[in-house]
Homo-oligomer: A and B are copies of this chain.
Amino acid sequence: MWYRDPGDASPVPVYDVHFCVVAHDDGKNSGMRRVRRRGLAHEAADHIRESIFDGRAAPGSALREVELAASLDVSRGSVREGLAILEREGLVRSEWHRGARVIELSPSDVNEVYTVRAALERLATISAAARMNAARLADLESLVQAMGRALEGDADGSTLLALDMAFHDRIYETAANGRLTDAWHGVRSQVRLFQLIRIERDQVDYRDRLVPEHHDLLRLMSRGPSEELARAAEEHVDSARRTLVHLLERDPDHPRS
């Protein structure tokens, strides 16, 4: 028996099953690798997260448990747990008996997030370089090439952003440090939010630097760990920080398209 009525558009059991294909295996892996079940809390978190990135949930707006529970068709408990997940990611702030709100982004937040990110990326890049091999290198290289193709094809911002994030995710994956990945996930969603703003309001700079900077990182990583690589990783993040602070100070309110 299921919790939800099967009369829904998609008559799947509520305890949803997620088939996660390992996206970047060596080509020898013929199909699915592991099956993960996550529960409604993660499902709810995904929906809410998406609505924040979409702009449907504006920064500062309240995320009421009953509303969300009704709109997502799950109980308040699951919504509550989902909101806790988003709070861990820094997308949401909640206070005692005052509910949860979408975070608001100020220049000082940019500094906080990107300063921490620089420290993490420094470690991740060096750790990844120490564990680099041909397959991983080729994988990263294909991502950079995809960036190039996307730029020539005049792809929209979200495509570029997805490739950008994927590149860095792979680095953390290669670093193979669970605690480091956890720390990254603590700022990742915020970084994505900021990069979204950056792409919206700075069409030129981002597109000019996307391929060269990532290509440089890749080249340095292929030569193993070095202080030069660490510096490059920090600078890659810090230049993004400077750009964002500049953008936000010029025009604090962000009119979404």
Contact = CB atoms under 8 A, between A and B. Distances in A.
Interface of A: 36-39, 77, 81, 84, 88, 90, 96-97, 112-113, 115-116, 118-120, 122-123, 127, 177-180, 182-183, 186-187, 190
Contact of A180 (B77, B84, B115, B122): B115
B96 A37 contact: yes
A205 to B, nearest CB: 24
A179 to B, nearest CB: 4
B38 A177 contact: no
Contacts of A96: 36-39
Contacts of A179: 90, 112-113, 115-116, 186-187, 190
28 contacts: A37-B96, A38-B96, A81-B81, A84-B84, A88-B88, A90-B179, A90-B182, A112-B177, A112-B178, A113-B179, A115-B127, A115-B177, A115-B180, A116-B120, A116-B123, A116-B180, A116-B183, A119-B119, A119-B122, A119-B123, A119-B180, A120-B183, A179-B186, A179-B190, A183-B183, A183-B186, A183-B187, A186-B186
Of A39, A119, A127, chain B has the most CB atoms within 10 Å of the CB of A119
Contacts of A177: 112, 115-116
Of A39, A112, A187, chain B has the most CB atoms within 10 Å of the CB of A112
A180 B119 CA distance: 10
B186 A182 contact: yes
B115 A123 contact: yes
Given A116-B180, A119-B180, A183-B186, 11 more contacts: A36-B96, A38-B96, A90-B182, A112-B177, A112-B179, A115-B127, A115-B179, A115-B180, A116-B120, A116-B183, A119-B119
B186 A112 contact: no
Contacts of A127: 115
Nearest to A42: B96
Contacts of A118: 123
Contacts of A97: 37
Contacts of A122: 119
Contacts of A116: 120, 123, 177, 179-180, 183
